[in-house]
Amino acid sequence: MALTFPVLPVSEIILSLEELCGFQLTSQHFSKPDSLVWQDLYKKMMSEIVGRSLDECMMEPLHLTPVELEFPELYTDTLNVLTLINAMSKLMPPLFVDDFSSRDVLMPTSSRLEKLCSAIINFLRYKSSRICMYEDMKAEVEAEREHHESLLKRNEELKQKINSIRSERAKREPEIEKVQDEISQVSNQMMENHRSRHAIEKNISDVKAKILEKKAKADQLKCKILKQKEVEGILSQKIVTSPEKVMAEQGELRQQLESLRETEDRKKNRFVEVDSQRKDLKQVVQNCEKGIQLLEMIHASVDRETVMVNQIQVILDQVQEGRDRLQEMERRKETVFEMLRKRQEKLAKMSLMHQNKVKILQEQMESYKQDKDKLEAQKSVDSERKTKMLQVKSQVTENVRRLQRDMEQKVESLKNAYGRLLEQTDSLNVLYAKEWDDIRKLLKN
């Protein structure tokens, strides 16, 4: 089966465990592993992986308590080891070690230790990186939540201000409508006054022009009268006119003078009327300016309300953006919870599998117990047999020693006899050789 994590060398495993768990290991821990030492190391590694204390990790024991076990006295010494095996068998499959067994705890080997430690180191590195990401996401969510709460609070305050402004505006609405009506009336009156003012100014300019013309004509008449008087004085000195003619001319001149005076009085009265109209128009203009100022104040208030509404809209947009972010974070959170749920389901399945394994192990232990009882009974019988065999062995050994001594004596005597036999054989061979030489010589002759 292909692994989803690299199997690290022993030197890198030692450095990684020292960095991640603070273990002071040497290569001898892997070359000559001690099961008791590695059981303690497994407990500490499991505590680092789960993120809980060692006591809390070991407080989640087997599903069968010592009270529920059939023979609890058999498990008093091995319950901690069984609990560790149970916890490790639940923990290792999610770390992509599906072939974990009790032999890895009870009889560890170098190759298995390298594989298990590589899986644990791989998960711890992954956990440290994901924990940092989770902390960053959590801090971001908290910041977004605080920002969202502040925006909601500010939104509530602005809503209260808007409601107060609206209530104030509703209270002042009749006054505003009244002022607007007055302003409309004043504006209409101002328009009419502007038109009448233009007409009056035109009339005044016409009247002034006519007055200037009349003054010019009056000046001309005065000049003519003066000239006529001079001429009259000169003529009166030169000629003697009739008194009737002089009286008639004087009467005409008086009539002309009276008509000019009446015209002048009419012009003065008209000028007084125009002046009063000008004053009334000035008062109307002042009222119009006040109305314009009031309108400007109302427009400024409306502009402020518009700016505030825009600010509220911006805040609402920010709130909506914060809600979108929160929804995104909620979706991420749901995804993480879904992954956790699947992992928990997998762990539950693994727990059921482990329970089945524990039942099988218990059955095996029961059979082992029966075999052990049989072996103990057989051992007692064998011990008796052994004592008897030892006694027999001692007797046989004594007999063998005695026989060995006898055999040694016999062998020694046989050796001596064999030596004597060899000497006799050598002497006979010498005799045979001499006799044979004699026979060959005789045959040659």
Residue 54's pLDDT band (boundaries 50, 70, 90)? low
Listed residue (259, 252, 249) closest to 218, CA to CA: 259
Write the burial class of residue 373 (CB in 10 Å: 0-12 exposed, 13-18 middle, 19+ buried): exposed
Return the structure tokens found at 216: 């010019």
Give the C-alpha separation, 344 to 94, whole Å: 10
Q: Over 70: is that where the pLDDT of 4 sits? A: no
Q: Which amino acid is at 152?
A: L
Return the structure tokens found at 83: 């609990």
Q: Over 70: is that where the pLDDT of 71 sits? A: no
Mean pLDDT of 131-140: 82
Listed residue (121, 163, 108) closest to 23, CA to CA: 121
Q: What is the pLDDT of residue 238?
A: 56
DSSP class of 72:
G
pLDDT in tens, 381-421: 877 877 887 888 788 788 878 887 888 888 788 878 777 87
**Beta carbons of 200 and 274 less than 8 angstroms apart:** yes
* 96-100, 227-231, 236-240, 290-294: least confident range: 236-240
pTM over 0.75: no
Return the structure tokens found at 346: 């997998």
Residue 56's pLDDT band (boundaries 50, 70, 90)? low
Q: How many CB atoms lie within 10 A of CB 14?
A: 19
Q: Which amino acid is at 409?
A: Q
First-last CA distance in the chain: 100
Q: Over 50: is that where the pLDDT of 244 sits? A: yes
DSSP class of 32:
S
**Beta carbons of 279 and 200 less than 8 angstroms apart:** no
Residue 226's pLDDT band (boundaries 50, 70, 90)? confident
Percent of the chain beyond pLDDT 70? 84
Q: What is the pLDDT of residue 316?
A: 72
Q: Which residues contact 369 (CB under 8 A, 6 or more apart)?
A: 71, 74
What are the distances in angstroms from CA 376 to CA 14, 74, 382?
A: 44, 15, 9
Concatenated DSSP letters of 271-334: HHHHHHHHHHHHHHHHHHHHHHHHHHHHHHHHHHHHHHHHHHHHHHHHHHHHHHHHHHHHHHHH
Give the C-alpha separation, 296 to 290, whole Å: 10
